[in-house]
Amino acid sequence: MELAVTAIPFVLLWALTWLTLDAGYWLGLLFAIPAGGFLLRLFLIQHDCGHGAFFSRRKSNDWVGRILGVVTLTPYAYWRHCHAIHHAGTGNLDNRGVGDVDTITVEEFRSYTRTKQFLYRLYRHPVVLFGLGPAYLFLLRHRLPVGMMRRGWSPWISTLGTNLGMAAVYAALIYLVGLKMFLLVHLPIVLVAASAGVWLFYVQHQFEHTRWEREADWSFHEAALHGSSNYQLPGILRWFTANVGLHHVHHLVSRIPFYRLPEVTRDIPALATMSQVTLRDSLGTVRLVLWDEEKRRLVSFRDAAS
């Protein structure tokens, strides 16, 4: 049911965006926004499949995940492996760099050359992090198993198989509507979903009082409960984001399907008030770019310089 009520509206909105373009491109773009929301939700269903949570049978999760990967531009097995590494080491300062937003400490930043500091500042700029970055990630980086090119055939099969599936679907759509119309419709939808997805995964770990530890002091459970946010979103956004805002619960037990996560916070009230980040709070997280090991919190470049 969750899959149907997400996939069918996505297809209808895609078609509606295409049909309204003749009446005015900006009108068509209005439909691209909710279409991007449904595409984001399809990605989050794929995310649950990767955790073996959406269906009870592994084969069902894997095949639906692979098919959705063609739609979301995300090679299923390759992304699942990267995401598993993220879950196994989130909040661990000695195990960073896979499946998360690059974050360095204040001392590491100070030790950088001016060129490296400039590049890190550029990387953490909102235009790059939530605009250019998501476009690069989903349109280009996912086309090759970056970081796993020497780990056998599996990452290659996942990425190239997804690429072939995308090529077949895109060729059919281009044949039906033409190349120009396809790009005018599909690219905005993909970019809306990609930027929203990166924002969500950013906020879920990049908030002021998140928790990072060195390996010796790191704990999986502490990282899950205190290093992952409880993002307080309005009801409609909770639906479109498949309850992924309850990220502390998800990191604690990733096999819980998204449609049952609210039951956990209802049955265990302490979890409902833990690691809360409001929508307003989340807007302020963009300035938090460095981990201060002495203050044990994320700080801005200005704070680090003072």
List pLDDT tens digits, range 108-121. 999 999 999 999 99
DSSP bridge pairs for 104: 290
Q: Count CB neighbours of 120 within 10 A.
A: 19
Could you tell me if residue 295 is inside a domain?
no
The pLDDT value given to residue 96: 85
Could you tell me if residue 51 is inside a domain?
yes
Q: How large a percentage of the chain has pLDDT more than 90?
A: 87
- Confidence band of 182 (pLDDT split at 50, 70, 90): very high
Identify the CA nearest to 265 among candidates 276, 273, 255, 275: 273
291-300 mean pLDDT: 93
* pLDDT tens profile 48-86: 999 999 999 999 999 999 999 999 999 999 999 999 999
The pLDDT value given to residue 227: 92
Assess whether pLDDT exceeds 80 at residue 239. Answer: yes
Mean pLDDT of the chain: 93
Task: Give pTM, 2 decimals.
Answer: 0.94
255-277 mean pLDDT: 94
Q: How far apart are CA 177 and CA 93, in angstroms?
A: 49
Could you tell me if residue 112 is inside a domain?
no
The CA distances from residue 266 to 127, 221, 259, 263, in Å, are 37, 20, 13, 5
122-138 mean pLDDT: 96
The pLDDT value given to residue 93: 93
The pLDDT value given to residue 117: 96
Q: Which tokens in the block code for residue 258?
A: 């998204």
Instruction: Please give the residue range of the domain that contains residue 199.
Output: 4-103+126-286
Longest CA span, the chain: 61
What's the chain's length in residues? 306
**Of 31-35, 144-148, 191-195, 292-296, where does mean pLDDT reach its minimum?**
144-148
Q: How far apart are CA 64 and CA 50, in angstroms?
A: 10
Query: How many structural domains are present in the chain?
Result: 1
Could you tell me if residue 113 is inside a domain?
no
Q: How large a percentage of the chain has pLDDT more than 70?
A: 100
Q: Which tokens in the block code for residue 37?
A: 């929301």
Angle, alpha carbons 125-128-131 (nearest 5°): 125
The pLDDT value given to residue 154: 86
The pLDDT value given to residue 279: 93
Under DSSP, the state recorded for 284 is: G
Q: How far apart are CA 130 and CA 151, in angstroms?
A: 29
